[in-house]
Amino acid sequence: MNQIFLAAKATFILLFCGYLSNTHAGSNTLSCALKTDQQYLGALPEFSHNTTPLLGYQCQHIPYYSGFLGNWFPSLPNLYVSQSSRLLAINSDSSEPATNDDSSQTWKVAFSIKRFGQSQLSIFSGQKDWQRVLQAKENITFIPSSAKNENDGITINNRQQAQFTRSETFFGLSLIFPYQSDQKLTELRLQNTIINQPIQADIAQFDKHSLFPAQTTINEIMIVSQSHHRGLNINWKFGLGKGEVQLKPKRLLNINSDFNQIISLRSHIELYYQYRINRRWMSHAGWKGDIHYWQQNTDNDDFKLASANAMEHQVFVGIGLTF
């Protein structure tokens, strides 16, 4: 029922954008696709991931960017929504196996505010929510945020399955350049990213590879090359950032702030192919992959965070309209 509601909501938003796009010159694109993807949470080296792909859909409205439109609000919003899921057995040893929805939800929105010459200043925001069931590779101690001392940990036994969530919220400013065949750079982006997910760490008074609730805040600068014209498009993104990780419960972790600092690298590549059926209809298909890596700037024997390598791979095929 929840999936049906989200799909209906996404369809309403995108159809509304399609109606508005008739009032703007150029080629705006409204499309939806079926997708299959795999996602791997980072900073959890002592847990194994299920490799069965998730199944779902994505819908997006890609506006026409031009350096010759109005000075204020020169293009329509850029919108993207997606959802995918699968069913897993939480306890494989149980004679009555329970099921749980492993799921992923994403939304993004960007508004162009002002035109400067051939470029546009845009503000954007979005969120990714992942839910996963992982299996421990060894006995691991989880320290909840309510723990009053190091003895209040909860043991996750070897081969035991546990549910994890990851929430990534991002917002920022970008300078968008209309795509040109001789100029591949299409966007410069300043982004603030906030990630909430458990992270493993080696801390002196706790067991090795203990698991802690954590919030990671990263400030990033990115360069982007993205196009969606007829034929094959090779899109890419690269980002460099700096931030900090705050483990919980703070009252038990009196740690030098220098050890919380991290550096971040982000990369994205997409192979996107568009086939124009006629003047209005088009089909599209492709593959894209994302890697977000971050690690501690400095560490010592008393405090060492697990390095994170969050990955996502996706294959999609769909159909759309141009206006």
Dump pLDDT digits (tens) for 170-199: 999 999 988 776 678 999 999 999 999 999
Percentage of the residues of the chain whose pLDDT score is greater than 70: 86
Q: Which residue, chain included where needed, has tokens 């990780």?
A: 245
Q: Where are the beta strands (DSSP E) in the chain?
A: 29-40, 47-48, 54-62, 78-89, 99-116, 119-136, 140-142, 154-156, 161-176, 187-196, 199-203, 210-212, 214-225, 231-247, 261-276, 281-296, 303-305, 308-322
In 3D, which of 293, 288, 291 has the Cα closest to residue 308? 293
Please say if the pLDDT value at position 245 is more than 80: yes
Question: For 65-120, what is each residue's pLDDT tens digit?
Answer: 876 767 899 899 999 999 999 865 444 444 333 445 799 999 999 999 999 888 99
What is the C-alpha radius of gyration for the chain, rounded to an integer number of angstroms? Answer: 22
Please say if the pLDDT value at position 228 is more than 70: yes
- Which pLDDT score is estimated for 26? 54
Please say if the pLDDT value at position 162 is more than 60: yes
Distance CA 141, CA 210 (A): 5
Question: For 11-46, what is each residue's pLDDT tens digit?
Answer: 554 455 444 444 444 589 999 999 999 999 999 999
Please say if the pLDDT value at position 256 is more than 80: no
Instruction: Take residue 51 and report the two structure tokens written for it.
Output: 């490799």
Question: For 269-292, what is each residue's pLDDT tens digit?
Answer: 999 999 999 989 999 999 999 999
> Is 250:181 a contact under the CB 8 Å cutoff?
no
Across 38-62, average pLDDT: 93
- Which pLDDT score is estimated for 87? 67
Across 301-323, average pLDDT: 92
**Taking the domain 2-322, which CATH number applies?**
2.40.128
In 3D, which of 176, 188, 180, 186 has the Cα closest to residue 113? 176
**pLDDT: which is higher, 95 or 315:** 315
- Which pLDDT score is estimated for 259? 86
- Which pLDDT score is estimated for 255? 74
- Which pLDDT score is estimated for 67? 67
- pTM value is 0.86
